[in-house]
Copies of this chain bind each other. A is one copy, B any other.
Amino acid sequence: MPVTHVEDMKKFAAEKFQKVNLFDTERMFCDIYCFEPGQEQTSHAHADNDKVYFVLEGSGTFGLGDEQIEGKPGTAIHCPPTVDHGVVNNGSERLVVLVFMAPHP
């Protein structure tokens, strides 16, 4: 499926934030992450992969190593290999983040 639209793919759940895949190849993936207020992606790192977070809707705090970054629509964050990163939706709106990772983990 080479074409999709984020409005058709957004999905939220009360239990935890949702990862929705848009594109997946041997070389990379592209997801959206959908957070209800209060939900978070726990801090973690990847040994060999770059991740990019791009905020589409809402706001949240992105941990990146020792930094805490306030994200809003249009904020782009690069998480290099081995650097801890995570996301908390501490806003009052739903948070939607475009996520790109390469190489595919």
Contact = CB atoms under 8 A, between A and B. Distances in A.
B3 A69 contact: yes
Nearest to A48: B27
Interface string A1-27: 111111100000000000000110101
A79 interface: yes
A52 B23 contact: yes
Oligomeric state, in copies? 2
Nearest to A78: B23
Given A23-B52, A74-B7, A100-B52, A79 B28 contact: no
Contact of A102 (B1, B5, B103): B103
A30 interface: yes
